[in-house]
Structure formats: structure tokens, C-alpha cells
Amino acid sequence: MPDVAAHITGTVWKIECQVGQEIEEGDTLVILESMKMEIPVTAPNDGVVTEVRVAPEDKVQEGDVVAVLEP
């Protein structure tokens, strides 16, 4: 299953997906806040969200898995 990772260190500002949701490549899954900027984490491919591993206000490091997709 493809893991979707944060590409920057920051704080989870908003979750834009839920488990079981069908998404398309490029859809925003999570929005991070870093240095007062909102940075979307997008789906690398089409699929179904099988896990959301973060919650609002969670701190994440670059490379941390925020969601898991099943093709």
C-alpha cells in the first residue's frame, strides 16, 4: 500500500480526507502549516484512503506518513 508522507516539517492544520474515501491523483489529503504557510499534501495516485495517521495539531517531520492509500 502506498504511504503518503509529509514533504516538510510542520503542524497538521486540517484533514481533507477520511477512511474509505475514493480519491484521485492530486487531491489534497492533509494541509500542513509551516512558517505561517499552508502546504497541501496531495495524493500521488488514485485510490482509496485506508488509514489517516495524523490529527489536527499533530507535529510531523519530513517523511512522516500522514495517510495510506490502496490502489
Secondary structure in 3-state letters for 38-69:
EEEEECCCCEEEEEECCCCCCEECCCCEEEEE
Q: Which uninterrupted H or E stretch holds 37?
A: strand 37-42
- The whole-number pLDDT of residue 9 equals 98
Q: What range defines the domain where residue 18 resides?
A: 3-70
Tally of structural domains, the chain: 1
- The whole-number pLDDT of residue 63 equals 97
Express each pLDDT in 1-54 by its tens digit.
Answer: 689 999 999 999 999 999 999 999 999 999 999 999 999 999 999 999 999 999
CATH code, 19: 2.40.50.100
- The whole-number pLDDT of residue 1 equals 64
Which grid cell is 64?
A: 512522516
- The whole-number pLDDT of residue 33 equals 98
Residue 71 DSSP SS3: coil
